[in-house]
Structures are given as structure tokens and as C-alpha cells.
Amino acid sequence: MKTSLLIGCCVVWTIIANAQWQFVNTGTDNDLYTVKFISRDTGFIAGYATFLQTIDGGETWASNPSIPQENYIFYDIEFPSKNVGYLVGSGPNNVAVFKTVDRGQSWLDVSPIWSSVFYNASFLNVDTGFISGLGSKIYKTFDGGESWEVVFSSSLGGPYYRWIQFTSVDTGYVGASETGYADALLLKTTDGGLNLDPAWPTVFTLPPFSSNKNFQFLTTKIGYAGINDIYKTVNEGGSWSELTVLNNSLSMALFFLSEDTGYTAGNDGFASAIYKTFDGGNLWFQCETQYPDSQYYINEIYFLDKDYGYAVGPFGVFMKTTNGGGFTEIDDLVSDVTFSLHPNPAKDQLILSLKLSGIRSEVTIIDLLGTELLTLSLDTPDPIIDISFLPPGIYFLHLKTDSSNTLRKFVKR
């Protein structure tokens, strides 16, 4: 089922604010595929012939002598703890897996002996992890990379296993495709991949996708996936609902902090943007970025916490936000519900006038950073909302019914 915004009134707002996402010079023009931060100061970016570290929040970057870079491509960085991390990709002998136990100060080669190209890793803890890649194989380690075993090998889904994520020791998901870019399948195991057939039955067919990070499971039940449209499951992949189209933009990467708050990067071939949702993907708001043009699409988005987020892309692109990304445009929001909001500006109380007889509805007050400050269920036609606790500023009231979403701006005096 697709969640859509119904045609009615149309509102466009632009908010004047400091840039929410800022470009930071990394010193490289190489394509970057992955980013991870383990604190607000210490982080890592990697990609084509590139692995760089920062200890000052991304202001400066340096290579690490224990990581070879020439003839290497790195696709994923995973830190199952603050000290232990894994770097995966391909090298002169195809396979490349490196491990750190000291927060990235030094790295050890723990690559399997098999010849392959690894795209993605998922570690449940510092010892137990899975790696996917070229060659229709899933690899597993129980001892922190000291040894590896093939737990799954099949022609199902073709030779590319781009994404992998385990939500428990038994339950895992893999994004597979015949060519690496089209005919995408999301596969699932419920026994750790030990039973080869049907350990990874197809649970969902995706539109064509790229090699970017386009799926994520927050819990064993709740997950997101897709390109163009974004899809959501709340029952472990048993069924999926289609969320909203992002101005015809391709969803190149996504990251959810919670079931409500998430980010995606889109590119329609002419312009690129980062979008934010605070209601699980029903409404998406464009964040303010310093994108120069459409060539700077995003390969991965990662958030350390609700404020500090990072994004990487081609040509050495690295962007950072320290206030949750915020949002600056609410573009063409439409609804079949008409209501008024007064007084505006308001001091202590906000009065809504609306006709919602027999319709379930709730309102949420949101600040400029997308933080939900208050949520109320409505049971009267002209509810009065206490806003005396809010500091002066600009806010949004999000009205949600069974069939629509509407947003209104108001000012607290």
C-alpha cells in the first residue's frame, strides 16, 4: 500500500538558517563510499584507493600507514564497539578485510584466503560477523576475523550480494542482484544462514538499485529499503508499504535513527539533496546543503547521534551536520484537510479550527531541527493547545489523520 499526500491546499516555505550540511575538504578527489564516526572527534572515510582518519571532527584528515591504499577499494566500515572495527573491500588479490582493536590507530589484515570482492559487513559483536560480496557467498567469523567460513553459497540472486545486515544471530537480510545494479532482491535467513536451502528465501523485490546503502533494519521487525520510492516493513519483511516519492529523486542512500527520524539522499539527474523525515517517511523535508551541482550525489549517510551526521560521495565529497541536518524547505505539501491556526503569532495558547468528525487525528509540534516537542490526540473540533512551555521562535504543527498529513508554520512570541 502506498502512502501518498492527497491534493488540496499547497504550501511552500523557505526558512532562513545557517547551512545545515557543510562541505569539509578531505584532501582527496577520489570517490568515497563509506563513513563511520565513533565519537564526535574520531571518524573514518574510505573509498577508491582511499582510507582516511580524523581526530578533530573532520576538520583535517590523514592516511594510516597500516592500511594499504594503492590498488585497494574500500566499501564498508563497521565498528561493533568503540575500540574494535572492521574495514572491508577489495585489493590486488580481490579480498580485503582489516581489523582494529585500538580505535583505528593500527590495523591488522584478517582477510579470508578466498578470492572475492567484499561490499558490506554486519557485526553483531566484536567477534561474530558476516560479510557479503561478489561470488554468491556469505562469509561468517566467530572469532573476530581469525578464521572465516562460507555459510551460504548459491546462484540465487546472481553473483552480487551488495548489502547485508543481521538483526540477531539467526535473522539476517541480504540485498542481491543478477548484475549488481538491477533486478534487486532482498533475501532473508532465520537460521544464521546455516541451512542453504531455503535459508535465504526472497522476501521482497526492489526496483533497480545502485551499490549504495539503500536498506536498513532498525529492529528485527522494522526495516526500510528502496530506490526512488522508499519501502517500509514492520513484520520482518513479511510485507512492505510504499512511502512517498521524493520529487522524482532517486534515493541513493538512507539512514534511520529511529522509526520516526530518518534521512535519505536523492538525485534526479539535475540536482541533489538530502531529505529528512520525522514521522517514519510519510513526509520528507529538504535539508539545506552546499551542493554545487548534481554530480555530488551521496553514497552513504551515517549519524553518530541525533545531532552529528555525516555523508560521503564521489570526488572526495564529505559533508557534516552538527544540528541533526535540520530542514529548510517544505515544498508542495498538500492535504485534503482544511483547518485554521490562530492566533499566529501566539503567546501561550494555539487554537485549531477544523472539521474532523469521526476521523482519528493527532497533532505534533516540531521545531526547526525536526525535533518533536509535543504530540496530542484530537477529540474536539476546536482544540486549544498549550504552548507556554515553548521558547520564542518558529515552529511547525503537523496534523496527521488516517488519510493525510498537513503542516502549518506558527510563531511563538
> Would you state the cell numbers that stand for residue 54, as one nine-digit string?
580524523
Q: Which of 97-101, 209-213, 281-285, 374-378 is the least confident region?
A: 209-213
**Tell me, what's the pLDDT at 26?**
94
7-53 per-position pLDDT tens digit: 222 333 333 344 588 889 999 999 999 999 999 999 999 999 999 99
Containing H/E element for 72? none
Q: What is the overall mean pLDDT for the chain?
A: 80
- The answer to whether residues 108 and 130 touch, using CB atoms and an 8 Å cutoff, is no
Q: What secondary structure letter does DSSP report for 411?
A: E
Rounded to whole angstroms, the Cα distance separating 399 from 389 reads: 20
User: Looking at per-residue confidence, does 406 or 222 come out higher?
Assistant: 222
> 175 near 214, Cβ under 8 Å?
yes
pLDDT at 245: 56
Return all residues near 380 (Cβ < 8 A) that are at least 6 apart: none
pLDDT of 282 reads 74
Q: Kindly report each contact of residues 272-278 with a partner whose C-beta sits within 8 Å and lies 24 or more positions away, as own/partner.
A: 272/296, 272/297, 272/298, 273/249, 274/21, 274/298, 274/301, 274/311, 274/319, 274/325, 275/246, 275/249, 276/324, 276/325, 276/326, 276/327, 276/370, 278/366, 278/370, 278/371, 278/372
pLDDT score at 46: 98
Radius of gyration of the chain (CA): 23
Q: For position 154, what pLDDT does the model report?
A: 66
State the average pLDDT over residues 78-97: 92
160 or 220, higher pLDDT: 220
pLDDT digits 0-9 by tens, 366-383 = 887 677 889 988 877 778
**What is the CB-side half-sphere exposure of residue 18 using CA atoms within 13 A?**
7
Mean pLDDT of 136-165: 80
Q: Are 321 and 22 in contact (CB under 8 A)?
A: yes
Q: Residues for the chain: how many in total?
A: 413
Cα–Cα distance, 58 to 234 (Å, whole number):
36
Note the pLDDT tens digit of each residue in 379-409: 777 789 999 999 998 888 888 776 666 778 8
Q: Which three cell numbers stand for residue 265?
A: 539522499
pLDDT at 207 over 80: no
pLDDT given for residue 8 in this prediction: 27
**At residue 119, does pLDDT exceed 50?**
yes
Q: State the average pLDDT over residues 267-274.
A: 69
Q: What is the pLDDT of residue 15?
A: 36
> In Å, how far are 172, 284, 366, 393 from 409, measured between CA atoms?
42, 16, 9, 11
pLDDT band at 55 (very low <50, low <70, confident <90, very high): very high
Q: What percent of the chain has pLDDT over 90?
A: 34
- Per-residue pLDDT, 184: 65
pLDDT value, residue 17: 40
Cα gap 274→398, rounded to integer Å: 21
Give, in degrees to the nearest 5, the angle at Cα 70 between 68 and 74. Answer: 70
Q: What is the pLDDT of residue 272?
A: 74
Q: pLDDT band for position 328 (50/70/90)?
A: low
Q: Any idea which residue has 538499485 for its cell?
A: 209
Domains of the chain: 17-325 (2.130.10.10), 332-412 (2.60.40.1930)
pLDDT (mean) for 111-116: 78
CA pair distance 72, 94, nearest whole angstrom? 9
Integer CA distances (angstroms), 124 to 129, 209, 289, in order: 6, 26, 34
Q: At 168, which helix (H) or strand (E)?
A: none
pLDDT at 43: 98
